[in-house]
Amino acid sequence: MEIRTVGTSALMIEVDDPLAWFAALDAERTAGRLDVTDIVPGAHTVLLDGVSSVTSLAATLRSWPPPSEVPAAADDLDIPVAFDGPDLGQVATLVGASEEAVVATLTSVAFRVAFGGFAPGFAYLSGLPWSVPRLDSPRPRVPAGSVALAAEFAGIYPTASPGGWQLVGRTDTVLFDIDRTPPALLTPGRTVRFVAA
C-alpha cells in the first residue's frame, strides 16, 4: 500500500483491491471507528477526505491487514437494456465474436460497481471479460441511457454528454435523481446485471 497526503485533510491510498478497501473502510466509518467525511474509491486508489489527523490515520492504515474480499452487496439490480447500439458490431469484431455472443456475454456477467466518476451517476462497472478500446474520436453527444464499453469497464451515461466509449445498447433506467437517497442508483459494491429488453 502506498499512502499520499492530499492537501491538509485527505489521504490517498494506492491498493490492489480498491473496492474491498472501500467496503472495509466504510464499515469502520459506519461503526464509528474511522473519523472521515468521505471515502471515494477509484480504479487503483481510495481517497479518504475530511481527516482530522492525516499523520495518525496514515500510521493506522499502515498497520491494517488488507481486506480479504469485497462483501456481497445487499441488493442486486437488473437493468433492462435494448442491445442496439451503433458500436455493437464493432465490439463483436474487436472481441472475435458474433453480436449475439457479445449480448449473451453481457447479460451473463454479474457486474460490480467499482467506482463512480466522469458525471454524477456514472458508474464504472467491473467484470467485463474483454478489454475494449475507446473510439479514436469521441462523439460530441452521447444520449442519456447509452450502455457503453471501454477498457475493462462497462458503463451507462446518466445524461447526454460527449463520450468516447463504444455504445452497445440503451436503457431508460434513471441513474441519477437528486430527490433520491442516495441520488446515484449505482453505488460502489452494488451488483448489476443487464437484462435484454
| Strand, helix or coil for residue 149 | strand
pLDDT at 177: 94
Which one-letter DSSP state was computed for residue 179? Answer: T
pLDDT above 90 coverage of the chain, percent: 75
With vertex at residue 139, the alpha carbon angle to CA 138 and CA 140, rounded to the nearest 5 degrees, is 115
Task: Give the span between the Cα atoms of 83 and 100, in whole angstroms.
Answer: 9
Task: Inform me whether the pLDDT recorded for 52 exceeds 80.
Answer: yes
Q: What CATH code would you report for 2-63?
A: 3.30.1360.40
pLDDT in tens, 90-120: 999 999 999 999 999 999 999 999 999 888 9
Contact 58, 64 (CB under 8 A): no
pLDDT at 4: 93
pLDDT at 73: 61
Given this chain, do its domains 2-63 and 76-196 carry the same CATH topology? Answer: no
**Domain map of the chain by residue range?**
2-63, 76-196
- pLDDT (average), residues 188-193: 92
Neighbouring residues of 160: CB distance < 8 A, sequence distance ≥ 6: 141, 142, 143, 144
Q: What CATH code would you report for 76-196?
A: 2.40.100.10
Higher pLDDT, 79 or 60: 79
Range list of H helices, 10-149: 18-30, 54-63, 88-95, 99-108
Q: Which residue has the cell 489527523?
A: 53
Find the distance separating the first CA and the last CA of the chain, reported in whole Å: 43
With vertex at residue 154, the alpha carbon angle to CA 74 and CA 191, rounded to the nearest 5 degrees, is 10
pLDDT in tens, 112-160: 999 998 889 999 999 999 999 999 999 999 999 999 999 999 999 999 9
